[in-house]
Chains A and B, each alone.
Chain A
Amino acid sequence: MVDYEVQAPPTTGSAQDAAAYLKAKFPGAVSDDTRPGFQGVIVEAGKLTEVAQAIRDELGYNYLSSATAVDYHGAGDHMEMVYHAYRISGGGALNFKVQTDREKPVIPSLVSLYPGADFQEREAYDLYGIHFSGHPNLKRILMWEGFEGHPMRKDWKEAYYEGEAKPFDSRWPSGWVHRAEEKNIYGSNVRYPADFDLSKLADRSDEAVYSSASIGVDYQRMTDPDDIRTDQLVVNMGPHHPSTHGVFRMVLKLDGETITGLEPVMGYLHRNHEKIGERNTYLHNIPFTDRLDYISSMGNNFGYVMAVEQLMALGARYTAPTYRSEVIRVLMAELTRIVNHLWSIGFFLNDIGAFFTPMLYANAEREKILDFFEATAGSRLMCNYMRFGGVFKDLPERIRSTANLMNDKIRDYNTMEFLSDMINERLPRFLEEYDRYLTGNEILLERTVGQGVLSAQDAIAMSCAGPLLRGSGVAYDVRRADPYSIYPELDFDIPVGKQGDLFDRYKVRMDEMHESLRILRQLLPRLEQTKGEDIMVGTKAYSPRIPQGEAYGRVENPKGELGFYVVSWGDAKGTQNPWRYHVRAPSFINLTALGPMSVGQKVADVVAILGSIDIVLGETDR
């Protein structure tokens, strides 16, 4: 059912050609972005739909990877929407931007052209207050409706506001400690919008509950005793539901057992990661990225340091990371992919009723890799391992522990032997056994084959990424389509599915683990060869100045394309805090497909469909 395809090289021209074409076709409406360090074109808001149409249909940029807003408050005083579109056949981004007024920001919606812009535009509306004319469902997505203001705007201040940028002066040299909560007591720092009716919250009637979930439930008809048609039923799953993999809520409209509508409700874990990121210095953000998709923190680190390294490369004194550090980064990224897929397959099987035994077996393998992470990076999940220009530390000679608590038990392994045992013996043996254990299992096949189908066209249109996209038969993998680090010299294939059902996604993940092992086997000799070489270039600066410009660093994370859009702006000599820090979260954007995939399925399947997308709420809600 799964076959292999190697990504064809991009054939249809560079982003510069595309920009030239657009400028010729829309004279006056499209212009180059001439700010230092910026790329792409600026499109006039009135013409955006037409230009985007040409970008998608004529130039072939049919995959909208990221759409996000930037607030240039005090630096031009405008809002900007930044889009990164790619060709699904591979190649670099066409970056186009639209500028609008800060006071009354309005931009035409692109949802009709790129359905994948749906959640991203809602996010920009929620966090920046930009109105997208023509958006079918423009309402808040991460914050709730009783929230005052648009928190990502530069002039919005959080409840425990302390200063515009870290490091804060109060910490040194006279840092007499206090707790923010003592000075700014909770309750006195909460505001509601002027037109918000708090008493509404106390209304627990069915009508209020159903109308708050805006999926078109006809409450009148539901309660009409004379209506003999089947009752429409609204079922609320989550936010506290074991199958939602975290605090995620789905409001389902059911006709009998069949789903006729699904509305995802998210944001319960929202902490405004991006606002924190803009207060932070560049370095501060590395451990914060660990907390996004906390199953694959190494991959998150990788994407972020790549984005910042792109910015650093705009400056004069920049040396690329050493070869050994790139090898180690890829080693970590591929191990992370295995860790993540073991986890997600285990939980997916839980979701379809193979309760916890497969999960436990998969986890036993995952533990060993985490032991290696712990010995190398210092932590099992929050690895915080990569740095600008390299990694934190070289691999340790031995994975060794010293007893210093009571009842401690000691382990001691040679790191390279441990790695090679894992990669050459243990993990392949495990995967083979897991295959025997489950892949032919009739119950598994009944539950997954032909369920939750997502077509290739829909997957591309909805900006799906990762195994979800590849399960639908689209061989798009950033490692091949837009290669980074040392991936070009490595030999591996991209597994794809045929039908785009749950089974294909399961199988793609299984095959990706095999491919990761293939990559890892090629890394072992490289690790031996580069032994003793530097893992950092130059000295580690704790507060590097980053030249002005924008960068979009993206990596193929286990859950899909993870992108970091970082803007350095405001000081010609370079900045210490990012002006804009945006995370293109695969867990978030992949959820666009949840509703369309679930409609027409049975309610028991929605659990499996959600499990097959593989989300982590730390990344979804940010």
Chain B
Amino acid sequence: MYGLGILKGLGVTIRHFIDTYKNDVFYGFNKGKPAEEFGVRQGTKSEGIYTVQYPDEKVAVPERFRFTPFLVVNDADHPDAPGEDWCTSCGICSKVCPPQCIWIVRGTDPATGRPVPQPEAFFIDIDICMNCGFCAEFCPFDAIKMDHDYEMSNYDRTSVNIHDKERLSKPFSYYRSIAPTTAEEEADARGGWEHTDVIKEKKKAEAAAAKAAAAAAPKPAAVPVAEATADAAPVAEAVTAPAPEASADDEEQKKAERLAKREAALARKKAKGE
């Protein structure tokens, strides 16, 4: 029969229409909709259309999501070096950046004129950044990471879109809050939650101490070596051990920070509205 194909098709559209709204009707048009319902709706089992009412609702982005880069610095309450840059200004990110939008001024010691492992200035031209994530991927010190904040529109690109070091720097705890799993993997690879250099220093110190102990001991060489390696294992553990504690602290801090951020954002919103 001519027209049967069209009728069948209309059946499909009606089906979709009903599927889209039946959940809303079930939950009384969003009143009393449980929070998990969002994930179900966005998942593979959903039926009907599942659009999100941006900006009232936003889909949180996954960990690996990349927008523009930021620089990792120590937290403000870091015991030894609060706020210190992780970047050693090695320049790899600027070389690996495809559109060449990273500009780094390597720091020099004013007394000796020798380079120091700290950037004096660090710029990223966000207009040019193509959000590729290479800088984060190839930085050997985990010092530059991809941010999740994609709401960066502004009215004047010439004055705001070159981000300097101050604008780029964000505390390590922020990174852990946006990418907990990746941060943990990276910490495992480094051997601890600290910066690679700090860990190295610590290990060196431990090794030196072990060596000194071995030299002091009047025993044949073979035994102290074994002892030293036996010592080294707990040492390595000791480095990673504070992690759970730190993570509990971090949890707190993360919360506080999120709260602060939210408040600041609210304030901005309000200011804009007025």
Contacts and interface: CB of A to CB of B under 8 A. Distances in A.
Does A pair with B? yes
Interface of A: 162, 166-168, 170-177, 179, 280, 283-288, 357, 360-361, 364, 368, 371, 374-379, 382, 384, 392-393, 396-397, 399-413, 418, 421-422, 425-426, 433, 436-445, 540, 542-543
B94 to A, nearest CB: 4
Question: What are the 7 A-B residue pairs with the smallest beta carbon separation, nearest first?
Answer: A175-B103, A440-B5, A173-B106, A401-B60, A172-B91, A421-B44, A287-B132
Given A173-B89, A173-B105, A409-B38, A287 B58 contact: no
A131 to B, nearest CB: 34
B171 to A, nearest CB: 13
B43 to A, nearest CB: 6
B162 interface: yes
B209 interface: no
A174 B97 CA distance: 16
A173 B119 CA distance: 9
B113 interface: no
Interface stretch (B23-31, B143-151, B217-225, B231-239): B143-151
A412 B38 CA distance: 10
Nearest to B43: A413
Nearest to B158: A179
Given A167-B94, A406-B58, A361 B104 contact: no
A287 B97 CA distance: 10
Contacts of B97: 167, 171
A176 B105 contact: yes
Given A379-B66, A542-B96, A542-B138, A384 B60 contact: no
Q: Is the interface of B mostly helix, strand, loop or mixed?
A: mixed
A173 B91 contact: yes
A431 to B, nearest CB: 13
Given A171-B104, A411-B43, A437-B12, A400 B56 contact: no
A442 B39 contact: no
Contacts of A399: 62
B5 to A, nearest CB: 4
A402 B221 CA distance: 53
B29 to A, nearest CB: 17
Given A177-B162, A408-B58, A542-B138, A441 B66 contact: no
Nearest to A163: B100
A177 B103 contact: yes
Nearest to A363: B49
Nearest to A408: B60
Given A287-B132, A404-B258, A374 B61 contact: yes
A375 B132 contact: no
A176 B121 contact: yes
A543 B58 contact: no
Contacts of A397: 181
B81 interface: no
Contacts of A384: 132-134
B138 A404 contact: no
5 contacts: A284-B96, A379-B66, A403-B60, A426-B44, A438-B9
A177 B60 CA distance: 33
A384 B38 CA distance: 29
Contacts of A171: 91, 94-95, 97, 100, 102-104
A542 B106 contact: no
B24 to A, nearest CB: 16
B215 interface: no
Contacts of B57: 407, 409
A172 B181 contact: no
Contacts of B162: 177, 179
A491 B50 CA distance: 34
Contact of B12 (A374, A402, A403, A433): A433
Nearest to A422: B44
Interface residues of B, number: 72
B1 to A, nearest CB: 10
A401 B177 CA distance: 11
**Residue among A170, A368, A404 having the largest count of chain B Cβ atoms under 10 Å:** A404
B104 A406 contact: no
B188 to A, nearest CB: 14
Given A410-B38, A436-B8, A174 B106 contact: yes
B100 A167 contact: yes
A377 B133 CA distance: 10
Contacts of A368: 44
Contacts of A360: 49
Contact of A173 (B3, B115, B132): B115
A175 B262 contact: no
B61 to A, nearest CB: 6
Contact of A402 (B44, B96, B104, B178): B178
A172 B58 CA distance: 38
A375 B133 CA distance: 14
B259 to A, nearest CB: 12
Contact of B95 (A361, A433, A542): A542
A421 B42 CA distance: 13
A379 B103 contact: no
Contacts of A543: 95-96
Contacts of A438: 9
Given A176-B121, A426-B44, A442-B6, A287 B134 contact: yes
B108 to A, nearest CB: 9
A378 B103 contact: no
Contact of B64 (A285, A364, A376): A376
B62 A283 contact: no
A368 B96 CA distance: 31
Interface string B138-176: 100000001011010000000000100000000000000
Interface stretch (B123-131, B198-206, B245-253): B123-131
Contact of B151 (A167, A405, A418, A433): A405
B78 interface: no
B262 A406 contact: yes
A403 B265 CA distance: 14
Interface in B245-274: 258, 261-262, 265-266
Contacts of B91: 171-173
Contacts of B137: 392, 540
Nearest to B10: A437
B96 A177 contact: no
Given A384-B133, A440-B4, 13 more contacts: A171-B97, A174-B105, A174-B106, A288-B130, A357-B13, A400-B181, A401-B59, A401-B60, A404-B149, A406-B58, A407-B55, A407-B56, A413-B43
A379 B179 CA distance: 15
Given A411-B39, A411-B42, A379 B100 contact: no
B51 to A, nearest CB: 9
